[in-house]
Amino acid sequence: MPSLKESQHFVPSAGIPRISGSTPFREVYQILEGARKGAFLLLRNDRPVSYVKAYPLAEKVITDAKGDVEKLRLRSGQPIQEVVTELSGQLPEVPVSAQPVDVMADESALRQRLATAFTVEELGQPVGWYLNQETVYEAQTERTIFICSRDHRNTDPDNGTCWKCPLPIVRTEKEKVP
């Protein structure tokens, strides 16, 4: 049986940004832009508790705010853990498996499970992640663009308003990370 490390759905440990729950919403998108990644591991007490798809999270936050500058400003500064908790149930927050899987685990069995980010171990040491469904894996390559009412494109929500003009962020788009 081939190693999970050879699977297209395998990502080495350093390949997914790890973001502490206290990080403000806006900073999360700055980190992701720098890392050219569209998903992250949300940490609680330094341990990953979930894998979060950043684009649908941003889309939900911006849609909910309806261009209200004050709401957007508050959201931008809010700890990411709180944002995710408030929106959970509506959000593609993918659980991290409670139990790690070995690199020699049966990939087809993992594919049949609900969307999960599995910790992969080799000789008992964590070596990376197995993202079992296409939508989970693909979220990594979705870059979020925050767009103001004058159609300026921003790579993070700043304080809820555009970098180039004083208008609020009113919608989002996703781009494929090259």
CA distance 122 to 128: 9
User: Should residue 165 be labelled a site residue for Zn ion when binding is judged by CB under 5 A?
Assistant: yes
User: Should residue 171 be labelled a site residue for Zn ion when binding is judged by CB under 5 A?
Assistant: no
In the bound state, the residue with its beta carbon closest to Zn ion is 162
User: Should residue 65 be labelled a site residue for Zn ion when binding is judged by CB under 5 A?
Assistant: no
H/E run at residue 104? none
CA distance 137 to 143: 13
For 129-144, the DSSP string reads EEE-SHHHHHGGGEEE
Give the footprint of Zn ion on residues 130-149 (CB under 5 A): 148
CA distance 94 to 75: 21
Residue closer to Zn ion by CB (options 20, 155) is 155
Listed ranges 12-20, 22-30, 124-132, 152-160: which one lies at the site for Zn ion (CB under 5 A)? 152-160
User: Should residue 162 be labelled a site residue for Zn ion when binding is judged by CB under 5 A?
Assistant: yes
User: Should residue 153 be labelled a site residue for Zn ion when binding is judged by CB under 5 A?
Assistant: no
CA distance 53 to 11: 15
Residue closer to Zn ion by CB (options 140, 161) is 161
User: Should residue 152 be labelled a site residue for Zn ion when binding is judged by CB under 5 A?
Assistant: yes
Residue closer to Zn ion by CB (options 166, 178) is 166
CB proximity list for 63: less than 8 A, separation 6 or greater: 171
CB of 155 vs Zn ion, minimal distance in Å: 13
With 0-12 / 13-18 / 19 or more C-beta atoms within 10 angstroms meaning exposed / middle / buried, residue 108 is exposed
- Site of interaction with Zn ion (CB under 5 A): 148, 150, 152, 162, 164-165, 167
